[in-house]
Amino acid sequence: MDKLLVHGGSTLRGSVNISGSKNASLPIIAAALLTDEDVIIRRVPDVSDTNYMVQILNALGAEVERSSGTIRATCAEISDTAPYELVRRMRASICVMGPLLARKGRAVVSLPGGCIIGDRPVDLHLKGLQALGAQVEFEGGNIILTAPKGLKGAELDLRGTSGPTVLGTDNVMMAATLAEGTTVIESAAAEPEVIDLANFLNAMGAKITGAGTRRIVIEGVAKLHGVEHTVIPDRIEAGTFMVAAALAGEGVTLRRVCREHLKAITAAIEASGHSVSFNEAGDACTVHRGTDLKGVDLVTAPYPGYPTDMQAQMTALLATTPGISVIKDTIFPQRFMHCAELKRMGADIKVDNGTAIVRGTEKLSAAPVMASDLRASAALVLAALTATGTTEINRLYHIDRGYEHIDEKLLLLGANVERVRV
Ligand code: EPZ
C-alpha cells in the first residue's frame, strides 16, 4: 500500500492538464455493452475505477484493450452475469445492470457494498427498470433482473428522498434505448456526466432528448452501432486543483476544463475571497489566491448545485480561511470522514447531523493521517500542502481510484510530495 509524504510550504505555480472525467467514463464504458460493434472511448483517465470497469467488461466476454487514455471495446458475445468479486468492490459497476438487461434480457449483478460515505441503496435503479418491465429477484448477494418479454417504454419518476440519482438515471436511460416504445424519466439527474452518456448513446443511434434537464425522453430503437467518443473533462479533479491553487498557489492555470461545469465550484471559491478567471474559450482558468478571505456557508445539492464530491476539498480550504463556515451535505450526510483527520492536523471543526461547522485557524500542522474515501483523501492532500511539516497520508489507493497521477501533477506545479511504496 503506497503512502504520500507531503512536505508543506511550497508555492504552486505554472499549469496543469485536467484529465477526462472518471464519472463520465464509468457509465460510458458500461454502455459499450449495448452494441456488438467496435466502440472507441478517448480521454479515459488511468485510475483504478476505470480499470475495474475494463476488467468487468473483459470478464463478461468483451474484447477490451486500453492504450493510455483510449479504450477500444467490442462486446460481441457477452454473458449476462457480472463477476461477483469485481462488482462488489466498486459500487459504480452497478451501471452494467441496464445495458446487460437491455442487450441480453437478463442481468445478474452483485448488490453493491455500502461505503464509508454512507449507505448506497439501489432501490431507485430497480424501480426504474421494473417500470420498463423487468422482474427483480435477489439470490446469494446478487440482483437478478429478467425481462422475458423484452423491455417496454414507460413514464417513471426517479426522485428519491435525497433527490435524483445519477447512476440510476444512467441505468434506466441505457436500458430504455433498446426498449419498445418511448420512456420518460421524470426527476432525472442533470449532471454533465449524464449529458455525456446521452451524447455517447445518441452517437450510437439512440434517440434521447432532454439530457441535462429533469425530464429525459428516450425513444427505443432496435439496435445500436459502434461509435468513437471523447469524454468530458473531470470537473471534480478540476475543482480539486482549483482549491489547491487557492490554498497554496500563485496564479496556477488549469487547462482542459469546462467553465460551464464549474460554475458552482467557482462561485464557492470566489465567495471565500479568491479569484478565478477563465479564458475566452472557457477551457482554461487561472486561480489567484485572495487577500481578503472569509468563511462561507455551503449546502451540497444535485447539479447544478454545489457538488457533494467537492465538499471535503472545500472543507480543507475553509479550515485555514478566517471566519466561520457552515457546510451541509444533503446528499451524503455522513460524508465527513475527512474532518476527524483534519482535526488531527489542528483544524477546528465540529460535525453534527450532516453539517460541519469550521472555524478557520491560522495554519495546520503535519500529522500522520488516514485516507478513508476518494474525496476525503484528496482533502487531506490539499490541507497538507500548506501545513507546517511533513504530512504522511496512508492508504493512497483511495486517491488512485479517482485521480490520475495526482502526485506527478502536484510535483509539476512545484509541490514537494513523494509517493512511498510501503
Ligand atoms: C454518483 O454516484 C457519483 N459516482 C458519486 O461520486 C457522487 O457522489 C454521486 O453521484 C452524487 O452526485 C459516479 O458517478 C460513478 P446517486 P451515485 O445515486 O450515482 C440516494 C465520487 O466521489 N439513492 O446520485 O451512486 C443516495 O443514497 C463518487 O466520484 C437512493 O436513495 O449517487 C444518495 O443519497 C462518490 N436510491 C443520493 O440518492 C438509489 O437507488 C444520490 O446518489 C440511488 C441513490
Q: Is residue 376 in contact with ligand 1, taking CB distance under 6 Å? A: no
Q: pLDDT, tens digit, for every residue of 218-242?
A: 999 999 999 999 999 999 999 999 9
Residues 393 and 408 in one domain: yes
Q: Is residue 341 in contact with ligand 1, taking CB distance under 6 Å? A: no
CB atoms within 10 A of CB 141: 11
Residues 349 and 281 in one domain: yes
Residues 292 and 327 in one domain: yes
Rounded to whole angstroms, how far apart are CA atoms 4 and 245? 19
Task: Name the domain boundary from 230, 265, 297.
Answer: 230
Residues 302 and 166 in one domain: no
CB atoms within 10 A of CB 142: 18
pLDDT confidence of residue 295 = 98
Q: Is residue 121 in contact with ligand 1, taking CB distance under 6 Å? A: yes
Residues 220 and 359 in one domain: no
Task: Name the domain boundary from 199, 230, 261.
Answer: 230
Residues 205 and 252 in one domain: no
Nearest CA to ligand 1 atom 26: 120
pLDDT confidence of residue 365 = 97
Burial class (CB in 10 A: 0-12, 13-18, 19+), 161: exposed
From the alpha carbon of 332, which atom of ligand 1 is closest?
34
DSSP string, 62-101: -EEEEETTEEEEE-SS--SB--HHHHHH-GGGGGGHHHHH
Strand partners, 81: 108
From the alpha carbon of 189, which atom of ligand 1 is closest?
24
Residues 26 and 54 in one domain: yes
CB atoms within 10 A of CB 151: 24
Return the closest-CA partner of residue 191 out of 118, 117, 93, 262. Answer: 262
Nearest CA to ligand 1 atom 4: 23
pLDDT confidence of residue 422 = 84
CA angle 21, 73, 43 (to 5 degrees): 25
What is the distance in A from the centroid of ligand 1 to the CA of 158? 13
Which of 21, 22, 23, 116 to mutate to test ligand 1, by most ligand atoms within 8 A of the CB atom? 23
pLDDT band of residue 397 (cuts 50, 70, 90) is very high
Which domain covers residue 384, as residue numbers? 2-19+233-421
Q: In this structure, what CATH number is given to the domain that contains residue 142?
A: 3.65.10.10
Nearest CA to ligand 1 atom 16: 165
What is the distance in A from the centroid of ligand 1 to the CA of 251? 33
Q: What are phi and psi of 77, to 5 degrees?
A: -110, 110
Residues 241 and 193 in one domain: no
3-state SS assignment for residue 406: helix
The grid cell for 281 is 474559450
Give, for 250, the enclosing helix (H) or strand (E). Answer: none
38-42 sheet: strands from edge to edge: 63-67, 70-74, 38-42, 227-230
pLDDT band of residue 86 (cuts 50, 70, 90) is confident
Rounded to whole angstroms, how far apart are CA atoms 344 and 333? 21
Q: Is residue 308 in contact with ligand 1, taking CB distance under 6 Å? A: yes
pLDDT band of residue 77 (cuts 50, 70, 90) is very high
Q: pLDDT, tens digit, for every residue of 142-187?
A: 999 999 889 999 999 999 998 999 999 999 999 999 999 999 999 9
pLDDT confidence of residue 174 = 98
Question: Which residue would you say has higher pLDDT here, 149 or 75?
Answer: 75
Nearest CA to ligand 1 atom 34: 331
Rounded to the nearest integer, the mean pLDDT of the chain is: 96
CB atoms within 10 A of CB 58: 15
- Positions annotated as catalytic residues are 115
62 has pLDDT over 80: yes
In the chain, the amino acid numbered 107 is A
Number of structural domains found in the chain:
2
Q: Is residue 313 in contact with ligand 1, taking CB distance under 6 Å? A: no
What's 262's DSSP letter?
G
pTM of the model: 0.98
Q: Is residue 234 in contact with ligand 1, taking CB distance under 6 Å? A: no
The grid cell for 174 is 441505457
From the alpha carbon of 191, which atom of ligand 1 is closest?
12
Residues 259 and 207 in one domain: no
Residues 11 and 74 in one domain: no
Contacts of 366 (CB under 8 A, 6+ apart): 6, 8, 345, 384, 387, 388, 389, 390, 391, 392
Q: What average pLDDT does this structure show over 254-275?
A: 98
pLDDT confidence of residue 117 = 78
Residues 133 and 274 in one domain: no
Task: Name the domain boundary from 230, 255, 274.
Answer: 230
Burial class (CB in 10 A: 0-12, 13-18, 19+), 329: buried
Residues 89 and 127 in one domain: yes
pLDDT confidence of residue 23 = 98
Do the strands 275-278 and 284-288 form a parallel or antiparallel pair, or are they unpaired?
antiparallel
CB atoms within 10 A of CB 218: 28
pLDDT band of residue 113 (cuts 50, 70, 90) is low
pLDDT band of residue 109 (cuts 50, 70, 90) is very high
In the chain, the amino acid numbered 308 is T
Q: Is residue 160 in contact with ligand 1, taking CB distance under 6 Å? A: yes
From the alpha carbon of 402, which atom of ligand 1 is closest?
29
320 has pLDDT over 70: yes
CB atoms within 10 A of CB 343: 17
From the alpha carbon of 120, which atom of ligand 1 is closest?
27
The grid cell for 285 is 482558468
pLDDT confidence of residue 219 = 98
pLDDT band of residue 114 (cuts 50, 70, 90) is low
Q: Does a cis peptide bond (omega within 30 degrees of 0) precede residue 27?
A: no
